[in-house]
């Protein structure tokens, strides 16, 4: 065998500038955020530059990963297993974020100051109005993203594209309802512990819905470009896992914060 022949099923990546650029971008963003919060000169400029560098790093790094998968055929079965483990660990870290927010909410609600929860003067949302609609939207979107996933497994690209399109539209509708709900809230972020825990938990989830919608939109664009194969579609699979995670978190939010918290 020649020296160039591959003797293993792993992918040894080429030297890449993006880890270093990403670290510099994160440092710039952190410095910008600190300067901005202390109202120092150039704080907002540094924050914007750092944020743009982070977005650029994400775009070019993931572009390289897509090339490795679709055009260079580096994502063997072993590599895909490694990527799945990585996505599982990422979602596990996200679970810890939400565990902290739920912990704060239950700590405040089970042992409230004054013995009353919600606190006096707080007018809560009706859980059977927009929150229920959003619950049905997300549950439906779980079905459509599963439809898309099973479509590519069966080699049905039409089902893949239709399922992704429906999921992206449902995700956008959910975000629109969430913005409408916030706009009509009877309390602000700084109006006590109830408001703070409510906005942190639901707002952080809303951010995840937005990220998940963009994740699926990229998958839709790739699907229309002919990407993904029945035996190799980890990008789509990761997006589907992430979306199901977002859906499960919302069920807990709906039950604990909207229904029980009322």
Model confidence over 115-155: pLDDT tens digits? 888 888 888 899 999 999 999 999 999 999 999 999 999 99
pLDDT in tens, 150-169: 999 999 999 999 999 999 99
Same domain, 42 and 116: no
Q: Which of 118, 129, 102 is nearest to 204 (CA)?
A: 102
- Shared-domain flag, residues 120 and 137: yes
C-alpha neighbours within 13 Å on the C-beta side of residue 104: 15
- Collapsing DSSP to helix, strand or coil, 194 comes out as helix
Nearest to 242 by CA among 218, 220, 221, 213: 213
b/e 158-192 (16+ beta carbons within 10 angstroms → b): ebbbbbbbbbbebbebbbebbeebeeeeebeeebb
Q: Is 232 helix (H, G, I), strand (E, B) or coil?
A: strand
- Residue 14's CB is within 10 A of a number of other CB atoms, namely 9
Say if residue 103 is in the same domain as residue 2: no
Note whether 175 and 209 are within 8 A (CB): yes
The DSSP H or E segment spanning 49 is: helix 43-70
Residues 54 and 69 in one domain: yes
Please give the average per-residue pLDDT across 76-98, as a whole number.
Answer: 91
Q: What is the mean pLDDT of residues 239-246?
A: 96
Q: Is the peptide bond before 118 cis (omega within 30 degrees of 0)?
A: yes
For residue 260, give the DSSP letter.
I
Total of domains in the chain: 2
* Same domain, residue pair 15 and 99: no
| Shared domain check, 222 and 149 | yes
Partner residues linked to 145 by β-bridges = none
pLDDT at 1 (0 to 100): 43
Percentage, residues of the chain above pLDDT 70: 97
Among residues 174, 157, 161, the alpha carbon closest in space to that of 219 is found at: 161
Is residue 253 within 8 A of residue 101, CB to CB? The reply is no
Mean per-residue pLDDT, 76-102: 91
Please, are residues 47 and 30 in contact by the beta-carbon 8 Å criterion? no
Rounded percentage of the chain residues whose pLDDT exceeds 90: 68
DSSP state of 190: T
**Helices 192-224, 77-110: crossing angle, 10 deg rounding:** 160
Residue ending a domain, among 22, 41, 74, is 74
Tell whether 99 and 126 lie within a shared domain: yes
- Residue 244 pLDDT exceeds 90: yes
State the residue range of the domain holding 240: 81-260
Which residue is associated with the tokens 């709906």? 254
Closest CA to 168 of 220, 205, 237, 240: 220
Report the pLDDT value the prediction gives residue 8, as an integer from 0 to 100. Answer: 66
Q: Tell me what the mean pLDDT of segment 194-212 comes to.
A: 94
Query: How far apart are alpha carbons 24 and 54 in whole angstroms?
Result: 9
Task: Among 17, 44, 74, give the residue marking a domain's end.
Answer: 74
Same domain, 178 and 243: yes
Closest CA to 167 of 183, 180, 151: 151
Q: What is the mean pLDDT of residues 201-211?
A: 95
Using the predicted structure, report yes or no on whether residue 189 has a pLDDT greater than 80.
yes
């Amino acid at each position: 065998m020649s020296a160039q022949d591959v003797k293993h099923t792993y992918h040894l990546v080429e030297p890449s500038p993006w880890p270093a650029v990403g670290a510099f971008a994160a440092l710039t963003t952190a410095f910008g955020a600190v300067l901005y919060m202390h109202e120092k000169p150039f704080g907002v400029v540094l924050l914007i530059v750092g944020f743009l560098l982070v977005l650029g790093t994400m775009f070019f790094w993931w572009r390289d990963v897509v090339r490795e998968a679709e055009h260079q055929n580096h994502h063997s079965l072993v590599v895909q297993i490694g990527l799945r483990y990585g996505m599982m660990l990422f979602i596990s870290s996200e679970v810890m974020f939400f565990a902290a927010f739920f912990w704060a909410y239950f700590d405040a609600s089970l042992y409230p100051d004054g013995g009353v929860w919600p606190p006096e003067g707080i007018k809560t949302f009706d859980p059977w109005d927009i929150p229920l609609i959003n619950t049905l939207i997300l549950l439906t979107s779980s079905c459509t993203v599963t439809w898309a996933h099973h479509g590519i497994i069966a080699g049905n690209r039409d089902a893949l594209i239709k399922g992704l399109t429906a999921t992206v539209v449902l995700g956008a509708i959910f975000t629109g309802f969430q913005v409408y709900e916030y706009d009509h809230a009877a309390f602000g972020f700084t109006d006590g512990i109830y408001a703070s825990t409510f906005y942190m938990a639901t707002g952080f989830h809303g951010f995840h819905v937005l990220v998940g919608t963009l994740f699926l939109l990229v998958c839709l664009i790739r699907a229309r470009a002919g990407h993904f194969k029945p035996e190799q579609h980890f990008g789509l699979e990761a997006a589907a896992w992430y979306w199901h995670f977002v859906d499960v978190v919302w069920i807990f939010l709906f039950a604990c914060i909207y229904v029980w918290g009322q």
